[in-house]
Amino acid sequence: MKRDFALAVKAIIVKDNRFLVLHRSKNEMESSIMNHRMAWDLPGGGVRFSETAERGLFREVGEETHIKIELIRLINSYDAIRGDVHLTILTYLCRHISGEVILSSEHDGYFWMTLDEMHEKKLPFWMIRDFQAAHDEYMSTSLKGF
């Protein structure tokens, strides 16, 4: 029995008190091994062998959105285990530095949302949980206004 392990990184990106949420393309959803029913996404993806998590995060955000970010801190880590695949996911709080979003073929839409808008759109629990943690961090520190 073959078992696979992978490391993925995701970015919660803040700009003007809103968070970037991506909508996955139909092809991306259909080709996903781990998550073929999830329409909403964060920028990010798999870390390559010999690549640090942070370097992978910057690469993935650049490939998927073409924007520049500043990494603030790790917000969450969790494991997704389905069948013979074990995926560890690191989610980072990031600040938008520059650029307009230009999507890759993995996504067909994007939104800069507030937490209230996320609840209205009924985003997945795990996503709102991580956005809430990022929001709380943002409101309780000197990061206000970024």
Residue 123 main-chain phi, psi, to 5 deg: -65, 160
Domain assignment present for 123: yes
Residue 90 confidence (pLDDT) above 90: yes
Residue 8 confidence (pLDDT) above 70: yes
Domain assignment present for 146: no
**Sign of torsion, CA 117 120 121 122?**
positive
Domain assignment present for 145: no
Domain assignment present for 32: yes
Domain assignment present for 15: yes
Scanning the structure block, which residue is given the tokens 């409101």? 139
Domain assignment present for 19: yes
How many structural domains are present in the chain?
A: 1
For all residues of the chain together, what is the average pLDDT? 88
Considering only CA atoms, which of 67, 36, 35, 63 is closest in space to residue 51? 63
Please give the residue range of the domain that contains residue 69: 4-140
Domain assignment present for 76: yes
The Cα–Cα gap between 131 and 93 comes to 9
- List the structure tokens of 125: 């629990």
pLDDT tens digits for range 23-79: 988 876 676 655 656 788 999 999 999 999 999 999 999 999 999 999 999 999 999
Query: Domain containing 8 — which CATH number?
Result: 3.90.79.10
Domain assignment present for 14: yes
pLDDT tens digits for range 115-129: 899 989 888 888 888
